[in-house]
Structure 1
Amino acid sequence: MKTLLRHIKDCTLCEAYLPLGPNPVVTASKTSKIVIIGQAPGIKVHRSGIPWDDASGAQLRQWLGVSTETFYDTANFAIIPMGFCYPGKGKSGDLPPRPECAPQWHAALLEQMPHIKLVLLIGSYAQKYYLKKEAKRTLTETVANYNAYLPQYLPLPHPSPRNRFWFSKNPWFKTEVLPTLKDKVADLLNSK
């Protein structure tokens, strides 16, 4: 695993497309129980090198019901974005994750984590990549049908503060999905 992570950190596969250059952000260990697959690091995470080191990360930790210390313990969580580097700014938010990362690195990472019990798919890029034809037409439909993907996957919207409108329009997420998420995470973290 250490060798693989070093190769990822040294990756320059899509360097020509990265406005700030490569700085792959990923954490994992052979003992990780839960994998978080999000989109790509934002500019703050690019600078710090710490995954989910922003307002979205604070919201995600609240959803999971875990402390910062528990979240960053790789025995608990592996954090593997669809794109490992900051992709740059788009017209409304960041650009999509670079398409090279997931096919190049994900299978090799997951293969080295035999204790994974749950994969959290955050956002439509992760959901379409992993759920393939099983993903619904929209992210909202996919998240609303979260039970269909358990016990392996649990699809989630992005926890960005920019998604306030989505959360207010879909109150079932807070009352149905988040309690299930917290229960599953607590059970897995407390299991031996």
Structure 2
Amino acid sequence: MQALATEVRACRACRDLPCGPRPIIQVAEGARILIVGQAPGRRVHDTGIPWNDPSGDRLRVWLGIDRETFYGPDFAIIPTGLCYPGSGPRGDHPPPRHCAPLWFARLRALLPDVALTLLIGRYAQAYHLAGCDARLGVSWHVRHGADYGALWPLPHPSGRNNQWLARHPWFAAEILPVLRDRVREVLRGGRRGDHRPS
């Protein structure tokens, strides 16, 4: 795992990115929860720490966990695009399409204990949900998240989605309590070799 992580962090496949390539991941072989976002933002690019921004703060509240847990060995973080793609008038650019096919399967193969994968935002959902109908939209996939089993679609926690959150109060009222229960259940299950009861 560490050899592959070193290889990933040295990737320079996207040399033309506005701020240059800086792949940002978090991986540990015993991870129980995998977070698949879209791509690092500018602040994350600058610090090299995934979800180290207001979006990450909100995500941790959604999951009911603190920073120590989030950055601990139970969580792996692999964005759909590993580098900051730059931004435009409507926010950050989409992740490069060739990034996930280049790295995701190799990294995921070394995470045998993952029991829950959070798919955050439409790009992550479009890539990772087999047969995902983009016409249904993020709202539909999030509303039916519990139906996907080990894959759980979520909206992006960016402040740009405040209007979406206001228009869909069912997310906070109905989805988040179930999601937090599932996160606690997975974390209680321990890692491979642990004999703690689930």
TM over 0.5: yes
Residue 147 (structure 2) aligns with: 148
Could you tell me how far apart the structure 1 residues matched to 2:86 and 2:98 are? Answer: 15
Provide the secondary structure at the position in 1 that maps to 2:29. coil
**Aligned letter for 2:11?**
C
Residue 109 (structure 2) aligns with: 111
Could you tell me how far apart the structure 2 residues matched to 1:39 and 1:144 are? Answer: 19
Could you tell me how far apart the structure 1 residues matched to 2:65 and 2:101 are? Answer: 30
Residue 8 (structure 1) aligns with: 8
Residue 97 (structure 1) aligns with: 95
Could you tell me how far apart the structure 1 residues matched to 2:147 and 2:189 are? Answer: 23
TM-score by length of 2: 0.93
What do residues 77-135 of structure 1 show as CA deviations (whole Å, max 9, x unaligned)? 10000011110012211101111211001000110011010100000011111113144
Tell me if structure 2 keeps the 8 A contact 1:35–1:80: yes
Could you tell me how far apart the structure 2 residues matched to 1:119 and 1:135 are? Answer: 19
Q: Which consecutive unaligned segments of at least 5 residues does structure 2 have? A: 191-198
Tell me if structure 1 keeps the 8 A contact 2:125–2:132: no
**Aligned letter for 2:128?**
Y
Give RMSD over aligned pairs. 1.0
Instruction: Give % identity.
Output: 46
Residue 195 (structure 2) aligns with: none
Number of equivalences: 189
Provide the secondary structure at the position in 1 that maps to 2:131. helix
Q: Which consecutive unaligned segments of at least 5 residues does structure 1 have? A: none
Stretches of 4+ aligned residues off by more than 3 angstroms: none
Residue 165 (structure 1) aligns with: 163
**Aligned letter for 1:19?**
P
TM-score by length of 1: 0.96
Provide the secondary structure at the position in 1 that maps to 2:164. helix
Deviation at 1:176, TM superposition (A): 1.1
